[in-house]
Structure 1
Amino acid sequence: MPLEAPLPALTERAAALNARYRHHSAISVLEHALTDPQVGTAALVSSFGAESIALLHMVARVDRSLPVVFLDTQMLFAETLAYQEKVCADLRLSDVRVIRPDPQAAFRRDPDAILHLADTHACCALRKVEPLARALDGFDAWITGRKRFQGGKRAGLEFFEVDAGRLKVNPLAHWAPGDVQDYIVNNRLPLHPLVRRGFPSIGCAPCTSAVQPGEDPRAGRWRGEDKVECGIHIVDGKITRKDSA
Structure 2
Amino acid sequence: MSTEKTQYALNLLESAFINTKPRGVGCSFGKDSVTAVHLARRIDPNIPVFSIMTIFKPKETFEYLVEINRLLNLDVLVYMVAERVPQILIDNGIKVELLSPDNFREAQGTHENFLHTEDVDRCCHLLKVVPIQKAVANYDVLIDGLRSSEGITRQNLQEIEITGDLTKIHPILHFTEEDIFEYLKKNDIPIHPWYLKTFPDGKRYRSLGCAPCTRPIFDHESERDGRWQGSKKEGGECGIHTNQIKPSKQNIPLQKTFVMEKQDYNC
Q: Same fold (TM over 0.5)?
A: yes
Report the Cα distance in structure 2 between the residues aligned to 1:236 and 1:98, rounded to whole angstroms: 21
1:180 Cα offset (Å):
1.7
Compare CA radii of gyration and give the structure with the larger one: 2
Cα–Cα, structure 1 residues 199 and 50, in superposed 2: closer, same or farther, change >3 Å? farther
Residues 45, 70 of structure 1: 8 Å contact kept = yes
2:218 to 187, 193, 212: 212
Residue in 2 that maps onto 1:99: 79
Report the Cα distance in structure 2 between the residues aligned to 1:88 and 1:63, rounded to whole angstroms: 16
Helix, strand or coil: the match of 1:70? strand
Show CA shifts across 1:13-60 (max 9, x none): xxxxxxxxxxx71012223333x12x3311111110133322222233
Structure 2 residue 184 is the aligned partner of structure 1 residue 178: no
1:164 Cα offset (Å):
3.5
Residue in 2 that maps onto 1:16: none
Helix, strand or coil: the match of 1:57? helix
Report the Cα distance in structure 2 between the residues aligned to 1:165 and 1:109, rounded to whole angstroms: 29
Cα root mean square deviation, aligned: 2.3
Helix, strand or coil: the match of 1:168? strand
Report the Cα distance in structure 2 between the residues aligned to 1:130 and 1:48, rounded to whole angstroms: 19
Normalised by the size of structure 1, how large is the TM-score?
Answer: 0.78
Report the Cα distance in structure 1 between the residues aligned to 2:230 and 2:160, rounded to whole angstroms: 33
One-letter amino acid matched to 1:145: G
Cα–Cα, structure 1 residues 124 and 200, in superposed 2: closer, same or farther, change >3 Å? same
Report the Cα distance in structure 2 between the residues aligned to 1:222 and 1:205, rounded to whole angstroms: 10
Structure 2 residue 8 is the aligned partner of structure 1 residue 25: yes
Gap runs ≥5 in structure 1: 1-23, 238-245
Residues 163, 234 of structure 1: 8 Å contact kept = no
Report the Cα distance in structure 2 between the residues aligned to 1:203 and 1:79, rounded to whole angstroms: 11
| Runs of 4+ in structure 1 over 4 Å off | none
One-letter amino acid matched to 1:40: K
Show CA shifts across 1:121-167 (max 9, x none): 00000000011101111111211111222242532332210224311
Residues 162, 236 of structure 1: 8 Å contact kept = no
Residues 33, 146 of structure 2: 8 Å contact kept = no
Report the Cα distance in structure 2 between the residues aligned to 1:167 and 1:81, rounded to whole angstroms: 28
User: Any residues of structure 2 matched to 1:1-245 within 5 Å, and which?
Assistant: 25-34=8-17, 36-37=18-19, 39-94=20-75, 96-101=76-81, 102-110=100-108, 114-197=114-197, 198-227=204-233, 228-234=236-242
Helix, strand or coil: the match of 1:130? helix
Q: Between 172-181 and 83-92, report the one with greater CA deviation.
A: 172-181
Using CA pairs under 8 Å that are at least 6 residues apart, name the structure with larger relative contact order, 1 or 2. Answer: 1
Cα–Cα, structure 1 residues 83 and 184, in superposed 2: closer, same or farther, change >3 Å? same
Cα–Cα, structure 1 residues 89 and 159, in superposed 2: closer, same or farther, change >3 Å? same
Count of equivalent residues:
211
Report sequence identity in percent: 32
1:67 Cα offset (Å):
1.5
One-letter amino acid matched to 1:107: R
Cα–Cα, structure 1 residues 182 and 164, in superposed 2: closer, same or farther, change >3 Å? same
